[in-house]
Amino acid sequence: MLKILLPTIMLVPTIWAVPAKYLWSTTLSYSLIISLISLTWLKSSAESGWSFLSPYMATDPLSTPLLALTCWLLPLMILASQNHTAPEPISRQRTYITLLTSLQIFLIMAFSATEVIMFYIMFEATLIPTLVIITRWGNQTERLNAGTYFLFYTLAGSLPLLVALLLLQNNTGTLSLLTLQYTPSMQLSSFADKLWWAGCLLAFLVKMPLYGAHLWLPKAHVEAPIAGSMVLAAVLLKLGGYGMMRMMIMLEPLTKELSYPFIIFALWGVIMTGSICLRQTDLKSLIAYSSVSHMGLVAAGILIQTSWGFTGALILMIAHGLTSSALFCLANTNYERTHSRTMILARGLQMVLPLMTAWWFIASLANLALPPLPNLMGELMIITSLFHWSWWTIALTGGGTLITAGYSLYMFLMTQRGPLPAHIISLDPTHSREHLLMALHLLPLILLISKPELIWGWTA
């Protein structure tokens, strides 16, 4: 565990000590080495589920893919931010990379924590660097508003969680994830118990985000700089899903009925946010809303509490993490060239950036869950588990897949196809850096097809 965490922490002094000339290359290669080492977690031979145990941290099949994703994303964020921070003074560039690194430190500790309170603290701690990234490094004044939304939505959800956790600690005497599932289940009957149930999940549902509590997400995505959008879509939202899966074990008898409205909300959200995507003119907002739609499916899969649902949710989280991050990067390549997120201003790009079109196409296909990409495996498993619960869900999930295909291809056609408008004929050519960035996003996704049990979670 510390093999990854200590090098990540030591990345901070490295950032400040390294000569300016080598800043980006050093941090990139350093973080890439960390992420390559983190892949060893995927090869676990432990029978009990938990491996790499230390007093406070461990990995299990649920957290390992998310940890590997977290570590994988830091080099990608560094790669993506290089161009747009280039005009800044060097110390600010160092600060920026430090922020990104601190986010990785917190996230590793959050995903590998064996104690719920530690997870909670790290869950909250990730807010700080993210908030700074959004409000300090965003491009427009609306970023301040976005930061406020982001902070207050998340805090309003997570403070009840603290109370709920303290109550749990009081009742069971432990909050260790290693033993928590073996503690006798609590007698939950009163109205207050139901509130406790809601308190345990609300923080994560807001983080996911559940439809209804999702307003912060499009704002944050639109205003954040590219690295912020990437990490937000790829990993931070997954904290919600991960936390929910961990908490679900303890909430056993109550969840069966209480989760109904949330499942309905999540599925309804798939349709509604998908429909919003169909009308988006803002590229980043479209991708953000599509995240809400996909995470709605994840939330429903988790709340349904079957092994198929959990597995599907984990697969979809990983696949969506890579896909949406790739889409944000693609949107950013457009943004860096046209300085606008408006789709109508940057269309017909296949003419000028033909190889980028290939990346756009693969990313759009991943977003609409083309078989056999892991996105489809996840969606199909969630749809099946929901279908097992109630037949009517197929109307919402099936409609969702239809709308997803609609807006994904709308996005692709709008940006890439059609004639090239005259005002953008003199664009910068694509850099190898950008192609590398896209390849590093999409290759893992494609390679996961051949060995999906890496992200299969508990049931692999």
* Binding of residue 355 to other proteins (CB under 8 A): no
Among 377, 424, 438, 454, binds other proteins (CB under 8 A): 377
Among 203, 208, 230, 277, binds other proteins (CB under 8 A): 277
On whether the CB atoms of residues 288 and 222 are closer than 8 A, the answer is yes
* Binding of residue 388 to other proteins (CB under 8 A): yes
Segment near other proteins (CB under 8 A); pick from 67-75, 99-107, 316-324, 451-459:
451-459
Q: How far apart are CA 59 and CA 67, in angstroms?
A: 8
Q: How far apart are CA 234 and CA 421, in angstroms?
A: 33
Q: How far apart are CA 436 and CA 453, in angstroms?
A: 26
Q: How many CA atoms lie within 13 A of 339 on its CB side?
A: 4
Q: How many residues bind other proteins (CB under 8 A)?
A: 51
* Binding of residue 425 to other proteins (CB under 8 A): no
Q: Show the binding pattern over residues 310-329: x = contacts other proteins (CB under 8 A), - = does not.
A: -x------------------
Q: How far apart are CA 383 and CA 286, in angstroms?
A: 23
- Helix extents (H) in 259-389: 260-278, 283-303, 307-338, 354-367, 374-389
- Which lies closer to other proteins via its Cβ, residue 160 or residue 406? 406
* Binding of residue 212 to other proteins (CB under 8 A): yes
Among 275, 338, 340, 430, binds other proteins (CB under 8 A): 275
Segment near other proteins (CB under 8 A); pick from 103-111, 131-139, 230-238, 417-425:
417-425
Give the DSSP H or E segment for 348: none
Among 5, 18, 188, 394, binds other proteins (CB under 8 A): 394
Between CA 459 and CA 235, with CA 179 as vertex, the angle to 5 degrees is 55
Q: Which of residues 135-164 bind other proteins (CB under 8 A)?
A: 149, 152-153
Segment near other proteins (CB under 8 A); pick from 2-10, 52-60, 62-70, 272-280:
272-280
Between CA 317 and CA 322, with CA 320 as vertex, the angle to 5 degrees is 110
How many Cβ atoms from other residues are within 10 Å of residue 192's Cβ? 10
On whether the CB atoms of residues 301 and 248 are closer than 8 A, the answer is no
Among 371, 421, 429, 443, binds other proteins (CB under 8 A): 371
* Binding of residue 20 to other proteins (CB under 8 A): no
* Binding of residue 452 to other proteins (CB under 8 A): yes
On whether the CB atoms of residues 143 and 134 are closer than 8 A, the answer is yes
Among 308, 328, 335, 360, binds other proteins (CB under 8 A): 308
Q: How far apart are CA 434 and CA 236, in angstroms?
A: 23
DSSP result, 17-82: HS-GGGHHHHHHHHHHHHHHHHGGGG----SSS-BS--SSB-B-TTHHHHHHHHHHHHHHHHHHHT
Q: In terms of C-beta density within 10 A (0-12 exposed, 13-18 middle, 19 or more buried), how is residue 173 classed?
A: exposed
Segment near other proteins (CB under 8 A); pick from 111-119, 128-136, 396-404, 435-443:
396-404
Q: Which of residues 160-189 bind other proteins (CB under 8 A)?
A: none
Among 173, 261, 398, 421, binds other proteins (CB under 8 A): 398
- Which lies closer to other proteins via its Cβ, residue 110 or residue 312? 312
* Binding of residue 446 to other proteins (CB under 8 A): no
* Binding of residue 350 to other proteins (CB under 8 A): yes
Q: Provide the binding-site residues for other proteins, judged by CB under 8 A.
A: 149, 152-153, 212-213, 215, 272-273, 275-279, 307-308, 311, 348, 350, 365, 370-372, 376-377, 380-381, 383-384, 387-388, 394, 397-399, 401-403, 405-406, 409-410, 413, 416-419, 452-453, 456, 459-460
